[in-house]
Amino acid sequence: MGHRDVGILHPGAMGARVAAQAVTAGAVVRWLPQGRSAATRARAVEYGLRSAANIQELAETCEVVLSVCPPAAALDVAGQVAAAGFRGVYVDANAVSPERMAEITGVFEGSAVTVVDGGITGPPPRETDRTRLYLSGDDTAVARVAALFDGSALIPVTLAGPIGRASALKLAFAAYNKISYALAAQACALADGHGVLDDLLDLARQMLPETPLAGTEHLAAAGPRAWRWEPEMREIAQACRGVGVPSAFAEAAAETFARWEAHKDDTAVTGERLIADLVQGTSPSMSRDRTGLPLR
C-alpha cells in the first residue's frame, strides 16, 4: 500500500476532476474500469488515473478511497468497499444528509476503516480557487486527506467537529443554490401559463440580473443535471426534517427535477423545453417522441 495511493471507484465528471487534483499533487490514483462508459475511460486516461483489476486490488493498494457518486448510490458504494476488505481512510464526498453519513459510517463499524465526511462545493475543479472540499471527522484522517490536495485547484477546508458537519454544510449551500433553479423554473412556468413569460424575463433581467430567473439560458444548465439533483433534494429534505426545519421546499424541488430526468446529460436541452415540461405536467416517461429519444 503506497503512502499516497488513492482509489476512486467510478470517476464521473466531478470525481475525475477531483482525482486529477490528487494526481497533480503527487498521488497515484487508481480506478475501476469494468462496466464504465467510453467517456469515463477517456477521462481516466486524460487525468492520469491508473486502472485496478478489481475492487479487491484497489482496496489492497490504496490507503485512501474517495467516494464521489450520485447520492442515491453512496450507501451501496460504501458497502462494496467494505466487502472488499479495505483498511484505510474512506472519504464520502457525496451530497448526502448527516443521517445518511451516519448510515455510511455504520457500514464500516468494527473494521479498520476511518470514515471522513466530505462535501464538495463549486464546479469540477480546474485552475481556479472556486471549488472546495469541506472535511470533518477524525483529525488525523482529515489532515491526511487534506494533504492529498495541497497546491491543487481543489481547496480542502477542515471543519472542527464530528462526521456530519461537512455534509450539512454542503446540503445547506445546495439548498439555496439548486433550489433557486427550481424556483425560477416554477415562476417561468406560472408566467408562461398566463402568457406573460417574456414580461417576467424582462423584469428579472432588470431587477435580478444575476439569478437563474434572468433568462431561460440560465435554466438550461439544470436540465442535464436534474437526474442527480432530484435525489440530492431528497437528502436535503431528510436533513431539514432532522433538525425540525420545514422540508417542503426541497421536496417540491425534487418533484421539479424529476420532471426533467429524461434530459440526463443532454446539454442541448433548452430552458424553454424545461419550462414546457412543467406547464404541460410531463413526466420523464412522457418526455420522449415515438422513437424513444428525448425531445429538445
pLDDT score at 287: 39
pLDDT tier, 290 (very low <50, low <70, confident <90, very high otherwise)? very low
Per-residue pLDDT for 47 more than 90?
A: yes
pLDDT tens sequence across 210-231:
999 999 999 999 999 999 999 9
Host H or E run for residue 39: helix 38-46
pLDDT score at 18: 97
pLDDT score at 281: 60
Beta-bridge partners for 119: 134
Q: What are the C-alpha distances in Å from 108 to residues 24, 72, 78, 87, 135?
A: 29, 18, 8, 10, 18
Judge if pTM exceeds 0.85: yes
Per-residue pLDDT for 62 more than 70?
A: yes
pLDDT tier, 4 (very low <50, low <70, confident <90, very high otherwise)? confident
pLDDT tens sequence across 92-103:
999 999 999 999
**Residue 239 to residue 166: CA distance in whole angstroms:** 12
pLDDT tier, 125 (very low <50, low <70, confident <90, very high otherwise)? very high
What's the fold here for domain 168-286? N-(1-d-carboxylethyl)-l-norvaline Dehydrogenase; domain 2 (1.10.1040)
46: Cβ–Cβ under 8 A, 6 or more apart, which residues?
A: 16
Q: What are the C-alpha distances in Å from 116 to residues 182, 201, 223, 242?
A: 31, 43, 31, 21
Q: Which of 292 and 246 is assigned the larger pLDDT?
A: 246
Cβ density class 187-207: b for 16+ within 10 Å, e for less: bbbebbeeeebeebbeebeee
What dihedral do alpha carbons 262, 264, 268, 270 form, nearest 10°?
A: 60
Per-residue pLDDT for 296 more than 70?
A: no
Per-residue pLDDT for 280 more than 80?
A: no
* pLDDT mean across residues, the chain: 92
* The CATH number of domain 5-160, selected from 3.40.50.720, 3.40.640.10, 3.50.50.60, 3.90.480.20: 3.40.50.720
Mean pLDDT of 69-96: 97
Question: What is the longest distance spanned by two Cα atoms in the chain?
Answer: 64
CB-based contact 175:249 (threshold 8 Å): yes
pLDDT tier, 185 (very low <50, low <70, confident <90, very high otherwise)? very high
Per-residue pLDDT for 136 more than 70?
A: yes
pLDDT tier, 292 (very low <50, low <70, confident <90, very high otherwise)? very low
pLDDT score at 176: 96
Nearest Cα residue to 98 out of 83, 80, 78, 119 = 119
pLDDT score at 3: 57
- What is the residue type of 2? G
Q: Which of 129 and 201 is assigned the larger pLDDT?
A: 201
Per-residue pLDDT for 114 more than 50?
A: yes
Give domain limits for the chain: 5-160, 168-286
**Residue 262 to residue 240: CA distance in whole angstroms:** 28
Per-residue pLDDT for 52 more than 80?
A: yes
pLDDT tens sequence across 247-267:
999 999 999 999 999 999 999
CB-based contact 211:205 (threshold 8 Å): no
Concatenate the DSSP letters of all residues of 68-98 into one string.
Answer: -S-GGGHHHHHHHHHHTT--SEEEE-SS--H
